[in-house]
Structure 1
């Protein structure tokens, strides 16, 4: 597929779907959005008209179309597994937003189909792997700059959530990023996980638990803690510190201008994930396109989506039992090693 323009179909034309379409159109030179689908037909029709694409009657019809080379799945969480599986069966490249599926069994079935196709076809939407701060941290760890990593302290703080938010979403939609990026930084899988109860914020606008404190232990004994604040925070703020034997690594704030005025020093913080990680989203899709053309995807894989799903299940179980829960993964298929 070298040097060929990649014809992309996008399933799901909500906020994140529209952002991806904009990137694929104006940032990634190797791609052209030629097809869209959304369960709200009017939304799909409007997007199709704006980007000179075809609106399809169903996601499955879009996936099977000979006019589509690769697919972006940005629909509701409960539909991801079905669309991703259909892409794999059609031997088509697919970029799937998190979560990959609602059950580990669905992930296992996808890995079985992908392995039979003989090459990686799916990339997960874990964009932090392309954020320059996390990339620099990963490089420093691998080059031994802080000695062996011992711990990670991190936080994921949000100003608000959309109506209908639930306690489990703090793990499956929010902390899922920390689940993946911590595995990636340390190059290890989890042994056990736990959710600890903490004093609840009066600023929470719904009836879900907020904040939550999540703990991980890797197979090699490293400990990770993640403060997940889903509502009422002062800003959208992502924090990460890796503690090593010989030093620490701190994720830099993205702000570049420090203001000094009125006897104060300050700098701005973001209010939304889209602005904080805009550059990493760009790099993620540029990498996806290059990976398709070279038949060598480099982003998070189906295995990573599976590991995150199993870990999420164990965390939800821990919150219910009040005890640490084991993370039990299947043997990793050769295609993902």
Structure 2
């Protein structure tokens, strides 16, 4: 593409995530502008677009993509709506940044993959923003350097203050552990081959019927194990932590000890309360990198294969949650486009 003028973006979905991306594009990053906003709620789309000069509001994603000045698409609508939007964007050969999940299941992700392969080149980046978080980037670089030797285990903790009222037990896997699934694949450079989900007694702080917390074990084709404590009603804060255990040492991120106070006979710090605070810079850096690579005519971030692999692993995880025991992950052969 190699362009000088700002990249015109259609943002699909004007809820909390979509509105935050609109703000980010309009006020924080350079080289792009919001050209159109779409949401099933017309009033919400109009409210988000109202303060942006030249931005049009729509209820139909296809209309937003066809709006004047649109060069690329950012998808922030609910997961079940992603497939139709992605297929339309691919049909029009538009670059896309799609918030995770790519699609809610492996079958629909495969349909998106087939459409992109038919196009003949990559167009879709998936929003696994932890790949842009400074701490995760440093951990990845350290593991890739080989200084610690071969990674043997990866311990992950993912805690939320409270779950949304619509959260189900399977969503702990598909909406939360999905991040650790991608982080495991990316940090270790392995594919995940099997999933086991263990279910301790439910916390008294969890809504009735919600299996929270859960303990997930991921096996990889590189011989490593990755475990995830997912606890979405911990009550005290939002924490995302990871520790790599390697042959010659360990490395840990996410302790959040950037500021420690000493006062009145006590020492301590603060705990972030949600993802928008913890990963604000990662989202900025992710969207900025996507805009910059798109303007160069490149796709550089996690793609459709990564979204498909995460969906397949999460499907296996949901089966393991529901039926107990170890469930193997069934992946298709990786197409040449994604090697």
TM-score category (smaller protein): over 0.9
* Cα offset, 1:255, TM superposition: 4.3
CA distance in 1, matches of 2:296, 2:338: 17
* Cα offset, 1:306, TM superposition: 0.2
The residue that corresponds to 1:15 in the other structure is 16
- Does residue 291 (structure 1) correspond to residue 293 (structure 2)? The answer is yes
Q: Which moved more, 1:112-121 or 1:327-336?
A: 112-121
CA distance in 1, matches of 2:241, 2:259: 19
Kept in 1: contact 2:35–2:68 (CA 8 A): no
Kept in 2: contact 1:73–1:95 (CA 8 A): yes
Structure 1 residues 137 and 260, CA, compared in 2 at 3 Å: closer, same or farther? Answer: same
The residue that corresponds to 1:106 in the other structure is 108
Structure 1 residues 210 and 233, CA, compared in 2 at 3 Å: closer, same or farther? Answer: same
CA distance in 2, matches of 1:214, 1:116: 36
* Cα offset, 1:108, TM superposition: 1.1
* Cα offset, 1:48, TM superposition: 1.3
TM-score normalised by the chain length of structure 1: 0.97
* Cα offset, 1:116, TM superposition: 2.2
SS at match of 1:216: strand
The residue that corresponds to 2:37 in the other structure is 36
Q: Deviations over 1:112-148 (max 9, x none)?
A: 2112222211111100000010000000011012110
The residue that corresponds to 1:200 in the other structure is 202
Unaligned runs of 5+ in 1: none
- Does residue 333 (structure 1) correspond to residue 311 (structure 2)? The answer is no
* Cα offset, 1:34, TM superposition: 1.0
Kept in 2: contact 1:77–1:101 (CA 8 A): yes
Alignment of structure 1 residues 43-122 onto 2, 5 Å: 43-52=44-53, 53-122=55-124
Kept in 2: contact 1:4–1:293 (CA 8 A): no
SS at match of 1:330: coil
CA distance in 2, matches of 1:281, 1:211: 27
Unaligned runs of 5+ in 2: none
Tell me which of 303, 306, 328 is aligned to 1:304. 306
Alignment of structure 1 residues 238-253 onto 2, 5 Å: 238-253=240-255
Q: Deviations over 1:201-260 (max 9, x none)?
A: 001134211001111000121011100001133210111000000000100434422101
Q: Deviations over 1:184-204 (max 9, x none)?
A: 000010111111111210011
Alignment of structure 1 residues 118-133 onto 2, 5 Å: 118-133=120-135
CA RMSD of aligned residues (A): 1.2
Q: Deviations over 1:87-112 (max 9, x none)?
A: 11110011111111122121111112
Kept in 1: contact 2:110–2:308 (CA 8 A): yes
* Cα offset, 1:65, TM superposition: 3.4
SS at match of 1:268: coil
Kept in 2: contact 1:197–1:212 (CA 8 A): yes
SS at match of 2:115: helix
Count of residue pairs brought into register by the alignment: 337
